[in-house]
Amino acid sequence: MKYISEFRRSELAQGLLSQIQRQSKTPVRFMEFCGGHTVTIFRYGIRQLLPKTIEMVSGPGCPICVTANADLDKAIALAQVPGVIIATFGDMLRVPGSRSSLQETKAVGGDVRTVYSTMDALKVAEDNPDNSVVFLGIGFETTAPTIAASILQAEEKGLKNYYVLSLHKLCPPVIKALLDWSEVKLHGLICPGHVSAIIGSHPWEFIARDYGIPCVISGFEVLDILQSVSMLVNQVENGKSQVEIAYRRGVRPEGNQQALKLMRQVFEPAPAQWRGMGEVQGSGLKLRKKYQRFDAELAFDIKSGPTSEPAGCICGDILRGVKTPADCQLFGKTCTPQYPVGPCMVSSEGSCSAYYFYGVSLGE
Amino acid sequence: MENKILLAHGSGGKLAHELVEKSLVKALANPFLAKLDDSAVIDFSGRLAFTTDSYVVSPIFFPGGDIGKLAVCGTVNDLAMSGARPLYLSLSFIIEEGFSQSELDEVVDSIRKTAGEAGVEIVTGDTKVVHRGSADKLFINTAGVGIIAEGVNISGSNAKAGDKVILSGAIGEHGIAVVSQREGLSFSTNLKSDCAPLGSLVAEMIDACPNIHCLRDPTRGGLATSLNELAKQSMVSIRIEEERIPLREEVLAACEMLGFDPLYVANEGKLVAIVPSKDADRVLKAMRKNRYGKNATIIGEVGAEKPGRVVMKTILGASRIVDMLVGDLLPRIC
């Protein structure tokens, strides 16, 4: 099995599309939670080809995008502390905070380094014993276990200069919040594939059971998405609501027990701030008491100043699925990938960036 | 101890002469260089193409090539993309103090081999050594000149509605081969850079069809950026088909892992040609006979509507805009 090209086979995709055409009778609105799914949907033009009965809305599943400005300001303030090296995943660099971005801070002398894994960040700490290395813990359940592993390794190695700013977010609690606010009526949810690879399918069951909304866990290729849409339509048309796994090659119902164990050993649930959604109970992760000496928030006196949101930016509404980038006054005018105003235009998985790059309003 | 390049090697004194004569002039032997005059003096007639580029690739050795091969191919290819026959190059080194003599020799040898294959001569050059930290190991600048044959008029502004768009082979190999060696990112791949001099390929294409409208080598910014440049310069639209773009499974896999779109990944041995529809098959046939064009294929065509826009038909049959690259390619995090 080749895993990529085999999941992009044109004739199979066409077959799934006609199957969806045949099945779909009831008008429905499905949300794809994950930014990775949004990108696939736009990259292949899936929205243009689905029957008129199916409306797709994008959800808040982009970890860069949902990071609140106040948290971003903390990261930027830390980057300005003499002797601190910030280690982060690349996308974070360009996201504008209230006054500056990590990229701008770097340009004026802040030591901000892009890493590709937490283990690289540990290496930076080992190589620079006279500096404090702060890893920006941005991400969902997918990245949290690797960050937990880095903390355990730092402890084992006796590293005294490695810290994590834990801005992690958990997916099921925020979906529950979205459903409770019921700003957007949903008839189906495409659940994130990589998050589910860690947490499994069970944590989604409350959505099908308590809210009567069909759920399908999807992979990221075009066939995965079409297969998932087809399974959702099938549930809707047959009056069912359950959690199904379309991404069998990546997800087991029980998830990845080892990763979960690591995550739970180091972190415990905590409230978290989401852009556009405010504080959501139990949707974040903080370091357990035993590992508090790695907590950047406790180790440094972070003075990030007052937080402000960019005027006119509707990233928050877009992340809740209430509005689309097309509704934004700034989109494509003052907010472009070159000069992003909000994070959804910066991140490669942001809705605004996907709309911009893949020309959704093309209508051809 | 291994020989290192010292600041004195760039001072103009004895060590500098030794470096130039032993490491460069001898390796790149030709009558122009051997004279050691201030300029190369060359007889010319005809239309001259003249270009320059600087090479700062990191790491300087990568699978399928090195900074020296790149410095020759890049400039040779820029000349070829104007329809010129590349003839002469200049070669300037900026070397970081402490750089290894043996690595320098290896780069110079690679320059010699590549120039030999490309049929160009290095006729003038310069060497500077800068303090440690003022450069990253080795930077190279090359400039080149070539002659454009009578009747050949190739420019990015010549594309016409109805023309066919030809791509010379699979995309993304150079970018992925280099990235795979980057510190902190090394992953194992059998991929090699496609770095190659395209002068002979272009000459054979021009022999088959002197009326080629546009040529471009999709280097930094990849195929997507080159097509956008051509569409904007010529005030036309370009429509390509995703399914027709040759792509190796390894490139695809690496792109998925890193969050790159192969359309934006750099190539160093590929070209895009825009040719009149009636000549397309003839050009394609000529290309496929050359080792650097054997996977050449028509990937799309030029239209008149919405000038400046590049649109791709996806494998599902939907359309999407293909825009220019913005900023750097960044790896994905989830």
Task: Give, in degrees to the nearest 5, the angle at Cα A126 between B63 and A142.
Answer: 70
Per-residue model confidence (pLDDT) at position B66: 95
Looking at chain A from residue 267 to 326, which residues have their Cβ under 8 Å from any Cβ of chain B?
none
Residue with the bigger pLDDT between A238 and B10: it is A238
Contacts of B321 in chain A (CB under 8 A): 357-359, 362
Q: What is the mean pLDDT of residues B149-172?
A: 96
ipTM given for this complex: 0.73
Q: What is the mean pLDDT of residues B291-313?
A: 96
User: A361: nearest CA in chain B?
Assistant: B320
Domain residue ranges in chain A: 1-311, 315-357
Amino acid residing at A150? S
Per-residue model confidence (pLDDT) at position A364: 37
How far apart are the CA of A188 and the nearest CA of chain B, in angstroms?
23
Per-residue model confidence (pLDDT) at position B328: 61
Length of chain A, please? 364
Cα distance between residue B151 and residue B213, in whole Å: 12
Contact A362 B320 (CB under 8 A): yes
Contacts of A3 in chain B (CB under 8 A): 253
Band (pLDDT 50/70/90 cuts) for residue B67 is: very high
How far apart are the CA of B334 and the nearest CA of chain A, in angstroms?
7
Which uninterrupted H or E stretch holds A287? strand A278-287
Interface probe for B, chosen from A49, A92, A143, A362 (most Cβ of B below 10 Å), is A362
Length of chain B, please? 334
DSSP string, A294-315: GBHHHHS--------PPTT--H
How far apart are the CA of A328 and the nearest CA of chain B, in angstroms?
20
Per-residue model confidence (pLDDT) at position B1: 60
Contact B243 A10 (CB under 8 A): yes
Contact B320 A42 (CB under 8 A): yes
Q: Does A1 touch chain B (CB under 8 A)?
A: no
Residue with the bigger pLDDT between B86 and A338: it is B86
Question: Above 80 in pLDDT, residue B182?
Answer: no
Residue B316: which of A90, A139, A222 has the nearest Cβ?
Answer: A222
Contacts of A35 in chain B (CB under 8 A): 334
Cα distance between residue B12 and residue B20, in whole Å: 10
How far apart are the CA of B167 and the nearest CA of chain A, in angstroms?
20
How far apart are the CA of A120 and the nearest CA of chain B, in angstroms?
6
Contacts of B328 in chain A (CB under 8 A): 90
Note the helical H segments in B164-216.
Answer: 173-179, 199-208
Interface probe for B, chosen from A10, A16, A38 (most Cβ of B below 10 Å), is A10
Q: What is the mean pLDDT of residues B93-101?
A: 94
Q: What is the mean pLDDT of residues B6-14?
A: 82
Per-residue model confidence (pLDDT) at position B318: 87
Contacts of B262 in chain A (CB under 8 A): none
Question: Above 90 in pLDDT, residue B141?
Answer: yes
For residue B178 the two structure tokens come to 């280099």
Contact B318 A142 (CB under 8 A): no
A74: number of CA atoms within 13 Å, CB side?
21
Which domains does chain B possess? 7-148 (3.30.1330.10), 164-321 (3.90.650.10)
Residue with the bigger pLDDT between A42 and B327: it is A42
DSSP string, B175-228: HHHHHTTSTTT-------------HHHHHHHHHH-TT--EEE---TTHHHHHHH
Question: Above 80 in pLDDT, residue B259?
Answer: no
Which uninterrupted H or E stretch holds B49? strand B47-55
How far apart are the CA of B322 and the nearest CA of chain A, in angstroms?
7
Q: Does B320 touch chain A (CB under 8 A)?
A: yes
Residue A45: which of B252, B259, B320 has the nearest Cβ?
Answer: B320
CATH architecture of A1-311: 3-Layer(aba) Sandwich (3.40)
For residue A268 the two structure tokens come to 């415990």
User: B306: nearest CA in chain A?
Assistant: A362
Note the helical H segments in A246-341.
Answer: 257-266, 296-299, 315-319
Residue A45: which of B314, B326, B333 has the nearest Cβ?
Answer: B314
Compute the mean pLDDT over every residue in chain B, rounded to the nearest whole number. Answer: 91
Per-residue model confidence (pLDDT) at position B329: 58
Cα distance between residue A227 and residue B109, in whole Å: 54
pLDDT tens column, B167-180: 999 999 999 988 88
Per-residue model confidence (pLDDT) at position B20: 82
Band (pLDDT 50/70/90 cuts) for residue B220 is: confident
Percent of chain B whose pLDDT exceeds 90: 69
How far apart are the CA of B74 and the nearest CA of chain A, in angstroms?
27
Per-residue model confidence (pLDDT) at position B28: 85
Residue with the bigger pLDDT between B270 and B26: it is B270
Percent of chain B whose pLDDT exceeds 70: 96
- Please say whether the beta carbons of B239 and B313 come within 8 A: yes
Q: What is the largest CA-CA distance in chain B?
A: 67
Contacts of B315 in chain A (CB under 8 A): 8-10, 13, 44, 222
Q: What is the mean pLDDT of residues B109-130?
A: 95
Looking at chain A from residue 22 to 81, which residues have their Cβ under 8 Å from any Cβ of chain B?
35-36, 42-46, 48-49, 63-64
For residue B159 the two structure tokens come to 């594309």
How far apart are the CA of A107 and the nearest CA of chain B, in angstroms?
15
Give the phi and the psi of residue A87 in degrees, each rounded to 5. Answer: -110, 130
Contact B320 A49 (CB under 8 A): no
Along chain A (364 residues), what's the average pLDDT of each consecutive run of 10 residues?
77 94 97 94 91 96 93 96 93 89 92 89 96 96 96 96 97 96 96 97 98 97 96 98 96 97 97 94 97 96 89 93 93 90 89 83 43
Question: Above 50 in pLDDT, residue B300?
Answer: yes
